[in-house]
Structure 1
């Protein structure tokens, strides 16, 4: 199965914060890979814009170094790298002043798609948006890409939306969530809506519960001061995990169209019940003698911190499709394995015809986001051999590496795909302003509740599966978490 590459129209892409960590690790290496594949045409240009006083040659050298560090060696072709660097420009810019803006305007070419990537702190969004129009750098068809965090609560998200709306239409604003660019996440929509097999049973009548897990082995060392102002709820649940929940729970849109898809996601968010305090477990990793490393409190440089590095929630959706089927969400730092997955557990058959029911287990559809992207369906079969009808559970496994072979290596990274969608003008995988605000309207009372109660996160050992109370969250419902592995 060949991966088709369809070139995009020629473009001018300006990366504000072009010398920053995100540009160095993801954006610029991703653009190189799109150039290598032939999707980015030879007449497109990439312009770095930042405070650093660099020459274009110095910036190109830094791009070369980021390619050398973050692009797999087999894909580092010197001739292609040299050609790619020939399309790179740079301008020293003052986001809050007037320096560099006339030079940036002079670099814009007529007839090209114009896109501006705001890889900067949200506090600079308004200043950059204002100056793009004040100096005539952007036009009525330009697109802006806005990185998270998009606010830290409903009030700040609304303020950001209002600032951007002063200068750009909603159709020009691309609020990026890299989780939506993952191949498996998009395949979730294909599995649901392109196969009659699943859609008739994709509802509370047949589904017992859904688990969404995003487990990380990394700690917050080096960015603890930043993370301590957000925590797992703001950093992961309100955006990434909310998007995954919406894709699982939404109704079929009338068409695979950006606003049709986002309309259905918005309906899910608005149907979410308020989460009860007893349905929330917050945790914070602590150091362990045998595994070494420091605690979250040390990494955050705040001995009195009450910020969670782990959170688990039981979420209910009040609509006809999902009433009575809980969604269990959990995410955390410094856990035993790096694993992101969605597990849909189906209900028991209404009647078993087999005398020996002891070996029976639920059917589970598992969508693995990382590592080893793919899908797995756990089904019951007869255990091989004589001795009667004994049941055993086996997986029907489809990993992209197995299904696509060498083509799996050519599947674009999330940032590669999403940036190309910006150039195409396709907003399907980007959040709309009202969607962001609805998510914060749901999350704010949860956060305000534990802050008002003065709740402290439960400590858990680094390298474990999280706090003990998270296990009880499931056990009291007669269920259990899937192993993190």
Structure 2
């Protein structure tokens, strides 16, 4: 008989005898052994003794026993009842065969006796093996009973109860450590605090955990798990993050977005990694659009107070849908297992999200929402504009995605429940030979529900996708987006894991891949906070709720626009409150009829503020394209001050209009302050525009106000350096376009009345004193010779406070020494005044 066969037979004999012996043991012995490191150690040593070859094992070389205490704060709440206790049970089943032991402690505010009864009932009702494979009903009952025996209740109300909680944790840890010591193996312990409580309680709870429950022994770890929301805007998210950082290291904090743990969501990156041909067409050249959707049929009655404060954008779009979009749009990491690289790649995409404007967001509210709020929160007589539906047109300004529209959509009380990522490719952009290609290629990650009924991946027949063998099952009956399955191949996972079971397992194994880091969170809120700030008091469109909601909320979009199909509803003009008196209306009507075509002998464009900004942007784009067609390059200079800020913000939302690689940006003037000063013109340009556009650094030309010795030191010759720079790069020193403003004292650029700089006739750039009485004593500015050489000059004037200066200079137009703006007189170019109605008529009309 061979040694290998003999070894096999002896092992079979050993396991058979051991099994028989264990069955004969009474239940009390089994209770002692079950789930303890000692039991696993016992089996391991017996197996060693009975092997055919004598092996000497040093117990200290064996893997240490690990005891984990999981403390669920909010143990009797809705989330705990629906998902968390089942997730802990599945973790217990999965890990209990290894050198791992557990204690589970549920904490809530109920007193000890009633809390224990409530928790026991929850465990008996909700813990099951229905979704766990390869466990018989009999074994399930045994495991469930063991799990419940390891679960304890602790009332948690004040600080002293955190101290007693810590005492309880340490009793269980000492017991486990003693058992490990008895068999001579190492011991490590972990504490996982899972906070299933309202977010307003996070900081006090986390402080008490740190103060009273942080382990003091070596080889002990701690993790803090938080559920969304993680703030309601950038400021609150930053405050919460800073407070947590006082007590917890970044690697100890696990912010949960359970959508990232949904089985199909977890397949997005593997599908991209395993399909090189797919990754090659995931870009602007081949993708027509991407939609990320989460619709629900339920209302918000069970969480009215939370929802009325947060709304659908904060509740769903800022987190779940944004995170799903990042899975599609991030660059793949060089190493698929490098968690840090994955996180950094996501942050890089977030940094390229274009700022939102009001026109990029559609809002809706189901009709009964207001009455539900008044009834549920006893807030009669108040108006609640909280949106329960939102569709947002999102743009990513990167080389990969420039020009592709992304739509994030979510709503309550919709026709159906469904969540999915849909990637639509351009017609015939990806097609196998001999296929008819009558339809666009599509790839759909269906995360839950919907026509496919179960989580699945669907792709059109002309888009071949490789899915890992043994993980997926192809099914034949489905209907997605009202199309017959003959257009698709559809696959479901053979084994689906509950999202919260995956979350809990990842926390246990310290895998932070599917969790939201602090930098990631703040970058996301930086984007969405700005988006929410532009909404103002826009009223959401009412929809019936339930069947017919899709039809009522149908919309259309492309890269530039998104709007409801029902044109009787205007998202930008919804209020009908009477805001003008009869006198105001007569004044407006009279002045509108008398808007002249010129101002100071040059072309005048006048409109409402928003329309005027849009017109200037369009004129800038046309001028840039014309210059690039003729000369291959476009040089534009922006002045400082408050006026251009709104223009910068608008330009940032439409970067696709401009070929930025052929555009050079210059400064008309600069204040002599430090580069991080709020009045530093270039700082404002960078914050409002440059960070959002894909322009080469070499195309950006700030004024050199600080060179060698001090800010704007004349000996440094900074103005001469800038002038030489212009002469070198700009043909004939002739800028293509200059945007100027007008101060209330009539100055433009940094050319102020009575100063020698007004008389400069040769220099293009000079240092000049600041305005009289100004705290900023010196500036750098272009001179009239540089300004008047430009091909096109736009003078941009907003606000009723500018009316008086416009009125004065129109009557004293030749006095440039007193009113410097009148010294702007193009040598050969054109000049256009862009003046909004408020500035032109002298009274705010909005």
TM-score band, normalised by the shorter chain?
0.7 to 0.9
Displacement of 1:344 in angstroms is 0.4
Provide the residue aligned with 1:435 in structure 2.
Answer: 520
Matched, 1:311 2:390: yes
What secondary structure, in the 3-state scheme, does the structure 1 residue paired with 2:513 have? coil
Mapped pair 1:375 → 2:457: yes
1: CA distance, partners of 2:194 / 2:550: 36
In 1, the alpha carbon distance for the partners of 2:194 and 2:247 equals 15
Q: Do residues 208 (structure 1) and 208 (structure 2) align?
A: no
Determine helix, strand or coil for the equivalent of 2:399: coil
The CA distance in 2 between the partners of 1:443 and 1:202, in whole Å, is 25
Give the deviation of 1:428 after TM superposition: 0.5
Q: Which deviates the most, 59-68 or 22-31?
A: 59-68
Q: 1:106 to 1:275 in 2, by over 3 A?
A: same
Aligned to 2:811: none
Give the structure 2 partner of residue 330 of structure 1. 409
User: Offset of 1:232 from its aligned partner?
Assistant: 0.5
| Contact 1:10–1:43 (8 Å) recurs in 2 | yes
CA drift at 1:237: 0.4
1:352 shift after superposition = 10
Counterparts of 1:330 and 1:132, CA distance in 2:
38
- 2:301, 2:372 within 8 Å by CA — same for their partners in 1? yes
Give the match for residue 278 of structure 2: 198
Equivalent-residue separation in structure 2 for 1:130 and 1:203 (angstroms): 45
Of 185-194 and 8-17, deviating more is 8-17
Q: Within the alignment, does 1:234 sit opposite 2:327 as a pair?
A: no
Match runs of 1:84-483 below 5 Å: 84-94=147-157, 96-108=158-170, 109=173, 111-138=188-215, 141-255=221-335, 256-286=337-367, 295-301=368-374, 304-349=383-428, 360-371=438-449, 372-380=454-462, 394-400=487-493, 404=494, 408=495, 411-450=496-535, 452=536, 454-463=537-546, 464-466=548-550, 468=552, 470-473=554-557
Structure 1: distance between partners of 2:122 and 2:248 = 30
Tell me the alpha carbon deviations over residues 381-430 of structure 1, each in whole angstroms, 9 at most, x when there is no partner: 9xxxxxxxxxx971011122xxx2xxx2xx32111111111111110000
Q: Residues 341 and 78 of structure 1: is their aligned pair in 2 closer, same or farther, counting only changes over 3 Å?
A: same
Deviation of 1:285 after TM superposition, in Å, equals 1.0
Partner of 1:43: 101
Equivalents in 1 of 2:407, 2:144: separation in Å?
A: 45
Give the 3 Å change call, closer, same or farther, for CA 221–69 of structure 1 in structure 2.
Answer: farther
Moved more, 136-145 or 469-478: 469-478
Q: Quick one: structure 1 residues 36 and 134, their matched pair in 2 at CA, closer, same or farther if it must change by over 3 Å? A: closer
Alpha carbons of structure 1 residues 204 and 393: separation in structure 2 relative to 1, 3 Å = farther
TM-score by length of 2: 0.49
- Aligned Cα root-mean-square deviation (Å): 3.1
Q: Report if aligned partners of 2:165, 2:213 keep a CA contact under 8 Å in 1.
A: no
Instruction: State the distance in 2 between where 1:163 and 1:475 align.
Output: 40
Q: After TM superposition, give the deviation of residue 469 of structure 1 in Å.
A: 5.7
Structure-1 separation of matches of 2:284 and 2:338: 26
Contact 1:335-1:462 at 8 Å conserved across structures: yes
| 8 Å contact from structure 1 (residues 460, 467) kept in 2 | no
Matched, 1:11 2:68: yes
State the distance in 2 between where 1:37 and 1:459 align: 48
TM-aligned CA distance change 1:141 to 1:103, over 3 Å: closer
1:63 is aligned, of 104, 114, 122, to 122
> Could you say if the C-alpha distance between residues 17 and 421 of structure 1 is closer, same or farther in structure 2, counting changes exceeding 3 Å?
same
**Residues 352 and 398 in structure 2, CA contact (< 8 A), matched pair in contact too:** yes
Supply the distance in 2 between the matched residues of 1:146 and 1:40 (Cα, whole angstroms). Answer: 28
C-alpha displacement at 1:39, in angstroms? 5.8
Could you say if the C-alpha distance between residues 15 and 468 of structure 1 is closer, same or farther in structure 2, counting changes exceeding 3 Å? same
State the distance in 2 between where 1:351 and 1:250 align.
21
Would the alpha carbon gap of residues 86 and 123 (structure 1) be closer, same or farther in structure 2, given more than 3 Å must change? Answer: same
Alpha-carbon shift at residue 266 of structure 1 (Å):
0.8
Give 1:468 deviation, angstroms. 4.5
Q: Deviations over 1:103-161 (max 9, x none)?
A: 43332326212111111122222222222222243457311001111111111111110
Matched, 1:25 2:82: yes
**CA distance, structure 2, for counterparts of residue 129 and residue 475 of structure 1:** 44
Q: CA deviation at 1:18?
A: 1.2
Q: TM-score, normalised by structure 1?
A: 0.84
Q: Distance in 1 between matches of 2:92 and 2:195?
A: 21
Structure 2 CA distance for partners of 1:478 and 1:472, relative to 1, 3 Å: closer
CA distance 1:242–1:310, change in 2 (3 Å)? same
Post-superposition shift, 1:216? 0.5
Q: Secondary structure at the match of 1:90?
A: strand
Deviations 1:243-273 (A, max 9, x none): 0011110011232222211111111111100
Q: Residues 320-367 of structure 1: CA distance to partner in whole angstroms, max 9, x if unpaired?
A: 11001111110000001111011100011269999x99x822100011
* Aligned-partner Cα distance in 2 for 1:222–1:136: 33
